[in-house]
Amino acid sequence: MKQSTRVAVGTLAIAALAAGGGYWSGQRQVPGDHDEAKPHAAVAAGEPARGTRKILYYRNPMGLPDNSPTPKKDPMGMDYIPVYEGEAGEAGSKQISISTDKIQKLGVKTEAASLRSLDRIVRAVGRIEPDERRQYAIAPKFEGYVERLQVNMTGQMVAKGQPLFEVYSPELISAQHEYALAKQGVQSLTNASGEARNGMQQLADASLMRLRNWDISEEQLRALAGAADTRRTLTFRSPVAGVVTEKKAVQGMRFMPGEVLYQVADLSTVWVIADIFEQDIGVVKAGAHARIKINAYPDKAFEGKVTYVYPTLKAETRSVPVRIELANPAMQLKPGMFAQVELAVAAQGQVVTAPSSAVIDSGTRQMVLVQVGEGRFEPRAVKLGARSDDRVELREGVREGEQLVVTANFLIDAESNLKAAVDGFAHPAPTDGR
């Protein structure tokens, strides 16, 4: 028992001597070793050696806003990461710095903001409709019966003067008979007194006027006047070359005065009725140039002009119809077709413009990246105005001649946001943190 106690005491004494000797040897300065050890210790601590970039501060390895002016470790034992000069801007700087190599890899291109007269394009949908001024209704002004149909299909093309149908009317036969008797009376009173002859002539003229009021053509009147007997039927002809858009006449049917039996439309000119949204109607005027695309002819564009802006607004769509006239010599445009309409609206004067690709739109704000130097860009909030196909008006935020990033601006914005997140969303003044 005593022997075991002596062994334990001896072991503790040897351990204490070894620890003290190690401490003494570690504190001892060996001549010639001081100059070599110090640089190694500095490098191990993270300090820059000669000829390297200057370290601004050390950032938290987990991205926390805890920076330090000297090397240190976080609570998990991870070394703080040095931030070198040129890798981050000064605290509060709004500029983005990117190396030349990275600019080339991203494919960054710039273009100067310039003054231009910006033509705005207003887009709308429309439909093809017949020209209301070129639609004709064939409606007899007397009572009768449809005796025979010459054109018996809706949609049939007809020429001007082409027979449509023949009618029989007792009123028409009676009027013809009166006219024939009046003419015979005028001829029989050639040697009579002037008063009797004039009275018979007035009766003949009244009978002729009655036939003309029924829209009987002069050619038909001459045929009736030259015929020895009254004609049983009368032929109605198309007043214009066009398409039969409606046919109510049926062979043998009875019709009343004013009843429409045929409708013929001249489709050599058609209308496009386009619905313009309420916010755009203020810039659309009569005479504006229009470009129309039809789905049936995707490779062809039709040109026309706005001829009328309707004075009413459709409450259900909040749109105002406008009328565009189009020539249709080949009859390609059919009533009822849908149309895609583009109206070119000239801007008033010259304004500062930039390509549409220069604008970064987040939905709540719009900004551009302005090149302020080699590899340095400044984000600026802008206020947009009118737009064209490929350019946009910059009302505020940019002056004429400033270089704007037009390609890869989203990549620059994404990289700057990523760097800001890694750097703790900002670069606060370094703190000791010890």
Beta bridge partners of residue 68, listed in sequence order? 58
Q: What is the pLDDT of residue 264?
A: 96
Structure tokens, 356 = 């549409």
Q: Quick check: 189 and 170 in contact, CB under 8 A? A: no
Residues with Cβ within 8 Å of residue 156, at least 6 apart in sequence? 243, 244
Contacts of 225 (CB under 8 A, 6+ apart): 179, 183
DSSP 8-state class, residue 221: H
b/e for 97-127, b at 16 or more Cβ within 10 A? bbeeeebeebebebeebeeeebebebebebe
Alpha carbons 250 and 263: distance in angstroms, whole number: 14
HSE toward the beta carbon, residue 381, CA cutoff 13 A:
4
State how far the alpha carbon of 254 is from the alpha carbons of 138, 142, 224, 257, 260, in Å. 15, 11, 23, 10, 12
pLDDT band at 262 (very low <50, low <70, confident <90, very high): very high
Q: How far apart are CA 412 and CA 403, in angstroms?
A: 15
pLDDT tens, 365-420?
A: 888 989 888 878 888 889 988 777 788 889 988 999 999 988 887 777 666 665 55
Measured distance CA(291)–CA(376) in Å, rounded: 43
Please determine, for residue 213, whether its predicted confidence score (pLDDT) is greater than 80: yes
Query: What domains can you pick out in the chain, each with its CATH number?
Result: 96-116+349-422 (2.40.420.20), 122-131+266-345 (2.40.30.170), 140-259 (no CATH)
More confident residue, 267 or 116: 267
Tokens of 335: 């009533």
Of 256, 228, 263, 240, nearest in space to 167 by CA: 256
Which of 82-86, 136-140, 162-166, 381-385 comes out lowest in average pLDDT?
A: 82-86
Give the model confidence (pLDDT) of 82-114 as tens digits. Answer: 877 655 444 334 677 777 777 777 788 889 998
Tell me what the pLDDT averaged over the chain comes to.
Answer: 79
pLDDT digits (tens, 9 = 90+) for 216-232: 888 887 777 666 667 88
Nearest alpha carbon to residue 81 among 99, 91, 67? 67
| pLDDT band at residue 49 under the 50/70/90 scheme | very low
Query: Which CA distances in Å does 197 have to 181, 200, 225, 339, 342?
Result: 14, 5, 19, 66, 69
- State the CB neighbour count (10 A cutoff) for residue 208: 19
Q: How confident is the model at residue 248 (pLDDT cuts 50, 70, 90)?
A: very high
Q: What is the pTM of this model?
A: 0.55
Least confidently predicted of 92-106, 152-166, 168-182, 272-286: 92-106
- Which range (167-171, 193-197, 227-231, 292-296) has the least confidence? 227-231
> Which contacts (CB < 8 Å, 24+ apart) does range 375-384 have?
375/97, 375/98, 375/99, 375/100, 375/103, 376/95, 376/96, 376/97, 376/98, 377/95, 377/96, 377/98, 377/405, 377/412, 378/94, 378/95, 378/96, 379/94, 379/96, 379/413, 379/416, 384/359
DSSP codes, 56-115: EEEE-TT--S--BSS--B-TTSPBPEEEEBTTBPPTT---EE--HHHHHHHT-EEEE-EE
Residue 275 — φ and ψ, nearest 5°? Answer: -100, 110
Higher pLDDT, 311 or 207: 311
> How much is the pLDDT for 91?
39
Q: E strand or H helix at 285, and its extent?
A: none
Task: Please say whether the beta carbons of 357 and 407 come within 8 A.
Answer: yes
Integer angstrom CA distances of residue 48 from 57, 59, 60:
11, 15, 18
For residue 347, what are its two tokens? 């801007």
Q: Nearest CA to 381 among 363, 397, 400? A: 397
The pLDDT value recorded for residue 225 is 67
